[in-house]
Structures are given as structure tokens and as C-alpha cells.
Amino acid sequence: MSAGGGAKAIIAAFFANMGIAVAKFLGFLITGSSSMLAESVHSVADSGNQGLLLLGRKRARRVADEAHPFGYGRERFFWSFVVALVLFTLGSLFAIYEGVHKVGHPEPIRSAPVAITILLVAVGLESFSLRTAMTEARELRRGQGLLRFVRTSKNPELPVVVLEDIGALAGLMIALVALLLAWKVDPVFDGYGTIIIGLLLGVIAVLLAVEMKSLLIGESASVEDVAGIRTAIESSPRVTRVIHMRTEHVGPEEILVAAKLAFVADIDLDDLAEAIDDVEARIRAAVPAAQLIYIEPDLYRDDPGHQS
């Protein structure tokens, strides 16, 4: 996927969440429902999150310099990690706090039909945002299940937007049920619903934080890309063995490849340089994201310590 992949999903989610946040907050002012207030804060946080994701994409496009010779691609991982923290603090902790308060001091729901209408409109807008994100993610998923996609994707924004949208839809349904129960049965259900929404957001935030932390520390290329790189190297007629190879994502679409290779015997310096250039060209043709390639020629010895 190109560097622009995912931008459409982020923009769609931003405008959807802005509209939803305004509608939910009006619903809170009319009804006094803490579930509506929690969902309002959730949508405001989501809107801010999309802004942070777009900021990360912009900053990641800066050219490499002396301080960052491999470029700024990891900025996208960093801002996605910040999004997970914002979702946890502004979304999860606030909702849990507000829910506990409402359970201890329940208040009757005012104008419940208005709140229900607002929630149903929000469900429609959030469904549109999720559909856009899932369409954008389809190319990257390659038939993978959603959880595996979140855990293995090197694109940080799409998993964030998809999980945010799924969490938002689930939160809306919880708020709708809680509101109906608070209206028809007991106002305390509004507080319970708010707590459940907070716990749901907390789970999503922790999952995202764990995955983004892994990308920030440095993840290898996917199994498919590693296999493609190795096959490309071994296809060179002047390479006799891959002694060892390491890969690492320095950005969502940028892979660093470092390989120690054994070449045919008695190869002279000019031919060796040409052979290395050929290997690099084969790697880039097989895996275009492999933009930074370092090849070290060596003699293969049956000594693991020498090969490291």
C-alpha cells in the first residue's frame, strides 16, 4: 500500500466523530444521561486522535538528516501510540469515573426519545466511518482475520481507526441499551452502562498501546516479505549462501535489510561490487519497501559465532 493508504479512512473518521460528538453532547444537555456524556467525550477524543494520526503522517514525510539518517518513518508509530494513551485517559478513565459517580448518585433520564434518536443517527455515521476503514484495510489484510491484522500490520493508522470505530459502535449500542433501561427500569443502569463503555475503551487502548510499542521498539518485516527478500537474494547466480539476514521496519513502508552473504569463489573486486548491486536490485524488485539495504560479503564457515 502506498504511503497515502489509510488517509481516506482517517479523514472519514474525523468528520464522522466531530458530527457525532456535537450530537451526543446536545443529547447529554437535553437528557442529563452520563452514558451520553461519556460517549461525547469518547467522540471528542476520537476526533483529536484522527488529528494526531494525520500529524504523524505529515511529520513522517520529512527527509532524512544527520540526526535521523534513516528518516522519520517511525513518527507514525509514535503518534499512534499517543492515540492509544489519549483513548485510555480521556475515553476510558473519564467514562469509568463518571459511571461510578452516576451509580452512586443516579438521576432520572430526561427526554429519552431525543437521546435515542441521536444515538441512532450516531450509529449510522459511525457505521459509515467503519465501512470506509474496512475498505481501506482490505488490501493490507490479505484474507487475515481482524485480530491478526491488528497484531501484524505495519501500517499503524488503519488498525487504530478500525478498532476505534468498532469500539465506538459497541459503545453506542451499550449506551442505547443503558439509556432504555435507565428510562424504563431504573436510572442506575445509566451509570452501569457508562462503566462498561469505559472498560471497553480501556481494553482497546491497551491492545493498541501494546502493538504500537512493539512497532516503536522495532519489528522485523512480515514473514512474506522476509521470504521474498531471501528468495530474491538466492536467485542471484553469484550468491552461494545467505549466511545471516536481519530486517526491521523503520517506517510502515520502509524496511531496513542487513545481510551477510557468501559469493562464488575467486570473484574479483569489480565483479563483487556488480554482484552486490545486482542483489540489491533483485531485493527491491521483489519487495519495494526494502529501501535501505546493506550487504556484507563474507566467507561461509561452519561456525555459528562467526556468522552472527
Whether the Cβ atoms of residue 154 and residue 219 lie closer than 8 Å to each other: yes
Does position 307 have pLDDT exceeding 70, yes or no? no
According to CATH, the topology of domain 7-217 is Alpha-lytic protease prodomain-like (1.20.1510)
pLDDT tens column, 105-163 = 887 877 788 888 888 888 888 888 888 888 888 877 777 788 888 888 888 888 888 88
Q: Which pLDDT score, from 0 to 100, does residue 6 have?
A: 66
Mean pLDDT, residues 77-90 taken together: 84
**3 confidence band (pLDDT: 50, 70, 90):** very low
CA distance 40 to 20: 8
Q: Which pLDDT score, from 0 to 100, does residue 37 have?
A: 78
According to CATH, the topology of domain 223-307 is Alpha-Beta Plaits (3.30.70)
Domain ranges of the chain: 7-217, 223-307
Contacts of range 290-294, beta carbons closer than 8 Å, 24 or more positions apart: 290/221, 290/225, 290/229, 290/247, 290/255, 290/257, 291/254, 291/255, 292/70, 292/250, 292/254, 292/255, 292/256, 292/257, 293/256, 293/257, 293/258, 293/259, 294/256, 294/257, 294/258, 294/259
DSSP state of 154: S
Q: What is the CA radius of gyration of the chain?
A: 25
Mean pLDDT, residues 9-19 taken together: 83
CA distance 106 to 87: 26
Task: With H, G, I as helix, E, B as strand and everything else as coil, classify residue 46.
Answer: helix
CA distance 228 to 259: 14
Whether the Cβ atoms of residue 164 and residue 90 lie closer than 8 Å to each other: no
Amino acid at the residue 226: V
Residue linked to cell 443529547: 27
Whether the Cβ atoms of residue 244 and residue 308 lie closer than 8 Å to each other: yes
Q: Which three cell numbers stand for residue 223?
A: 514473514
Output the DSSP codes for 63-95. Answer: PP-SS-TT-STTHHHHHHHHHHHHIIIIIIIHH
Q: Which pLDDT score, from 0 to 100, does residue 234 have?
A: 95
Does position 64 have pLDDT exceeding 60, yes or no? yes
Report the percent of the chain where pLDDT is more than 90: 27
The helix (run of H) or strand (run of E) holding residue 2 is none
Asked if domains 7-217 and 223-307 share a fold, the reply is no
Q: What is the pTM of this model?
A: 0.75
Higher-confidence residue of 32 and 175: namely 175
**303 confidence band (pLDDT: 50, 70, 90):** low
Task: Judge residue 105's burial from the number of C-beta atoms within 10 Å of its C-beta, 0-12 exposed, 13-18 middle, 19 or more buried.
Answer: exposed
pLDDT tens column, 271-298 = 999 999 999 999 999 999 999 999 999 8
CA distance 50 to 10: 6
Q: Which pLDDT score, from 0 to 100, does residue 300 have?
A: 75
Higher-confidence residue of 142 and 83: namely 83
Which of the listed ranges 11-25, 53-67, 80-94 does the model predict with the highest average pLDDT?
A: 53-67
Report the percent of the chain where pLDDT is more than 70: 95
Higher-confidence residue of 239 and 137: namely 239
